[in-house]
Amino acid sequence: MATPFFSSLRSIESDDSRHWIGWVGLAVALASAWCVWAVLAHVALYESTSEARIEVASPVHEITSAVSDQIRSVHVAVGDSVAPGQLLIELDRTIQEYEREERRAELEALERQLTGVADEGQAIATALQAARRAETAALAEARAQLREATAAAERGREDLARAKTRVEQGRATRDELEEAERVAAELEAALAVRSLTVERLEREGGSRRADRMAEAAGLETQRAELESRVDVARSALARIDAELERRQIVASVAGRITDLDTLVPGSWIEAGASVGRIVPSGPLHVVAEFPETAAIRVAEGQMSRVYVTGRRPEGDETLVAQVSRVGTGAPRFGAAASPAGTAAVRSGTGPTTGRVRVELSLPGEVASRLHHGLPVSVEVEVERVRPLDLLLRVVGRAARTRRA
């Protein structure tokens, strides 16, 4: 009975040895495969954040009023598409409209007066030119007659001198001398009349010209005063028109109304207060915020995965995006509302939270199915490393932590 027992024992020992060798071989094979994978393979490392959303590339425009007043009418609603310059909200303009009518009537009256003065001035100028032509013709005729009278008087004086000589020589009678004296006297009288006529025409012409010129100068002064008043009235009308325009809130860009307060005719609106927003038409991108320590590893050109919070885009499990800018502007989520948020614009980091703004571009066919303001989560592939290098990093970090 001893021989079969020992044979069975040796058989069991032989089977255990073969199983042990098999398990060792399997372990060695797995370890070798892991070593090959750790040395040759590469794994992706990601930095992720849930503080992200879809935004338009252009800034969102706030709907604000330049003045405080009551609302007369509202012409848009949330979701409406608007064009640049389209009327959105109209404030009460009753007082300004009355004022504009008064100023317009005043301006029209002044313009009529100015037109009348200009017409009168033109009539005076035309009459002055006609009078000058008539005076010139009359004066020319009087001067011609004066020249004739001068020549006739000179001949009369010569005839009188000859008559005196003949009387002295006894060749003419006393009656002939008296006749020559009478004719000479008549010619001298006619010369005096012609001379006085020329002087009178010159004096009267100068006086009439002076009167006409004084009248024209008065009209010119009146015209200048009216023109000044017209300019003032036009400026006042332009100011009222500008005030009327300030009471019309219009779209500054083409886009869509995404937010709008409850506005009804008669409600009050404050100057500078935002009552809605216009999202401009244009391409969409992703705006995310990363901790500053993580953002150090994020760089332009890196690929990323974008997950739409609350729903999944049709046909896609994730969206593919690419980092386009890092550290551009102050964060918009949370920290941006602090008083120091403005100072962070230069560096792109949050004022106290150490967060960095990152922008990611989306493919056009994907962006067309999204809309502004949609919350998303972002994973940015920051590096591809070998598993062995990653293990060495973890070991080194643990060793440094232990020494510290």
296 and 324 housed in the same domain = yes
242 and 254 housed in the same domain = no
Mean pLDDT over residues 131-136, rounded? 78
Residue 72: Cβ within 10 Å count: 15
d(CA 390, CA 44): 11
d(CA 249, CA 64): 7
| Residue ranges making up the domain that contains 200 | 95-246
Does residue 402 register a pLDDT over 70?
yes
Share of the chain above pLDDT 90, in %: 13
Does residue 3 register a pLDDT over 60?
no
Q: Specify the 3-state DSSP secondary structure of 78.
A: coil
Q: Which of 338, 335, 336, 328 is nearest to 287 (CA)?
A: 328
Does residue 371 register a pLDDT over 90?
no
162 and 174 housed in the same domain = yes
Q: Specify the pLDDT at position 232.
A: 92
Q: Which of 201, 187, 203 is nearest to 153 (CA)?
A: 187
266 and 399 housed in the same domain = no
Q: What is the pLDDT of residues 262-318, one digit of tens each?
A: 888 989 999 988 899 998 887 888 899 988 877 788 888 888 888 886 555 454 457
Q: Specify the pLDDT at position 27.
A: 75
Q: What is the pLDDT of residues 188-239, one digit of tens each?
A: 888 888 888 888 877 777 777 777 777 778 888 888 898 899 999 999 999 9
Q: Which of 384, 380, 393 is nearest to 298 (CA)?
A: 380
Does residue 33 register a pLDDT over 50?
yes
**CA 34, 36, 37, 43 torsion-angle sign:** positive
Tokens 């006609």 correspond to what residue? 130
Q: What is the pLDDT of residues 40-69, one digit of tens each?
A: 666 778 888 888 888 888 888 899 998 999
189 and 84 housed in the same domain = no
d(CA 250, CA 272): 14
Mean pLDDT of the chain: 78
Number of domains, the chain: 3
Does residue 337 register a pLDDT over 60?
no
Query: Does residue 37 lie in a domain region?
Result: no
Q: How are the residues of the chain apportioned to helix, strand and coil, as percentages rounded to the nearest 5?
A: 55, 25, 20
Q: CA-based angle 195:199:205, to the nearest 5?
A: 145
108 and 233 housed in the same domain = yes
**115 CB contacts (<8 Å, ≥6 apart)?**
none
Q: Specify the pLDDT at position 345.
A: 35
Q: How confident is the model at residue 90 (pLDDT cuts 50, 70, 90)?
A: very high
d(CA 70, CA 260): 16
Read off the CATH number of the domain in which 194 is found. Answer: 1.10.287
115 and 238 housed in the same domain = yes
Does residue 349 register a pLDDT over 50?
no
Share of the chain above pLDDT 70, in %: 80
Instruction: Quickly list DSSP for 311-332.
Output: S--TT-SSEEEEEEEES-S---
242 and 104 housed in the same domain = yes
Does residue 158 register a pLDDT over 70?
yes
177 and 261 housed in the same domain = no
Q: Which of 219, 66, 241, 16 is nearest to 128 (CA)?
A: 219
Q: Specify the pLDDT at position 338.
A: 37
Whether the CB-CB separation of 243 and 74 falls below 8 Å is answered with no
